[in-house]
Amino acid sequence: MRDTYEFPEEQPGAARTAGLRRLSRLTWRATQLSAVTAVGFATLFARTAPAHTVASDTTAASTAKTSPSAPAPSSSSPRKARHPKRVRAIATVSAQAAAPAPQAAAQASQKATPAPSKSANLAPPSTAPAPAPSTSSASAPAPTPTVSSTSHGGG
Amino acid sequence: MPSAATTIAARTFPALGTFATVLVADPDALDVAHDLLAAELDAVDAACSRFRADSELWRLNHARGRPVRVSPLFAEALAVALDAAGLTDGDVDLTCGQSLVRLGYDRDFGQARRHTSPLRQPPMPAGGWRRVRLDLERLEVRIPAGVWLDLGATAKALAADRAAAAIWAATGCGVLVNLGGDLRVAGDPPDGGWRVGIADDADFDASTASIEPRQVVVINDGGLATSSPLGRAWRRGGADLHHIIDPSTGQPARSCWRTASVAAASCVHANIASTAAILRAERAIGWLDGLRLPARLVRHDGTVVTVAGWPADGPETAPAN
């Protein structure tokens, strides 16, 4: 059994140096953790934050381009885009303007890219429907008209 | 000059739960036109059918809020439907899928209307079109869990627009595509223009041959569509129902019009306007007039209101049978 327990005398300033070293390590770890967290949040935000929606963009355009003489549908306040770089307008595809190449329609369908522009309002035709000429006055029998009615069965 | 324009060739076949008709000003182009139209309809059906378990729309409706990758065609159809909602301030709402299911329209219409038992669930308002997220760069869509989309109206009109453009590009001749009353023309019209009969009392059981047009008009460009609560109407537990839904209630719209026919620059625009006209009832007159969209609106008693240059009914526009 030992009578005395003698401990070597600490070097002056050793405890202070060790504390500083520990503090330095902690600071470095905290910096690393912050960096990783920041990258993680940025990635999460980029993945989950919705792109500027078509819906809200449509409303915005409607509001901006409505002619004062045209009682266009009233619109709600548009939501602000959170990702301006992704803002893309969409349009109803005008068949003539966006006529696909003369290939099978199915192929055109699969390859078509949504048009990057959209309508500000519903557009009228170039010419309004005209009355059909009387069949009795025509030199030849008029062809049977194709019918526009509500959706119904084939036949 | 297109001297052959007086000879119009036509073919009709069933598609998308209705009929599809293609007319071409050059009879030699009919086969090509038919094939292109059939291919386009197949593609649209595979993407946008609410009833096919292998469609993209089905996958999206059952994704429970998760983002779903979609094809360019589906993205285009969805963009058009969102456009429709925006242009009508939400009257034409694509998020009425669950509303239609609650009303019993949960399968192909021909089958759905055979069920006449009372409905078991209360009506469900639309899920809200502003909650639909479409990322065009990633071709990714996300809708909230429980919200179902129905692209029925605008997708059919889009198909007419796309098919007419494709046929015109491939054949170079004038073409008219008619999908269940949603029409689009492209290219040079035949001499005298395209003759279109306007029917305002046809129901689902009327065939293309049996429909009696109330008026015949001539169009040379753009699209023309007719909407009506008569066409897809059914009965459940004593209640008369139809497919044009008021998004705020989830119930069939109550309108003063039995049909609304509208001409516009495209079939999509004509369809949006005609559907919105049914939903907006009396307000539709001023709205269509302000947009200079020619329209023929028919009240339930048969009274006709014409708007923005649509020709009035008269002897010269009588049906030509």
Residues of A whose CB is below 8 A from B65: none
A84 has pLDDT over 50: no
Would an 8 Å CB–CB cutoff place A139 in contact with chain B?
Answer: no
Residues of B whose CB is below 8 A from A61: 86
Yes or no, beta carbons of B79 and A114 under 8 Å apart: yes
User: For a pLDDT cut of 70, what percent of chain A falls above it?
Assistant: 32
Model pLDDT, residue A153: 37
| Angstroms from B51 CA to nearest CA on chain A | 17
Q: What is the ipTM of this complex?
A: 0.78
Nearest residue on chain B to A109, judged by CA atoms? B73
| Angstroms from A118 CA to nearest CA on chain B | 8
Residues of B whose CB is below 8 A from A101: 169
B264 has pLDDT over 50: yes
Nearest residue on chain B to A49, judged by CA atoms? B133
A68 has pLDDT over 50: no
Question: 3-class SS at A131?
Answer: strand
Q: Does the model's pTM come out above 0.80?
A: no
- The model's pLDDT over A9-21, given as tens digits with 9 standing for 90+, comes to 556 688 888 889 9
Residues of B whose CB is below 8 A from A76: 89
Nearest residue on chain A to B229, judged by CA atoms? A150
Average pLDDT over residues B114-125: 72
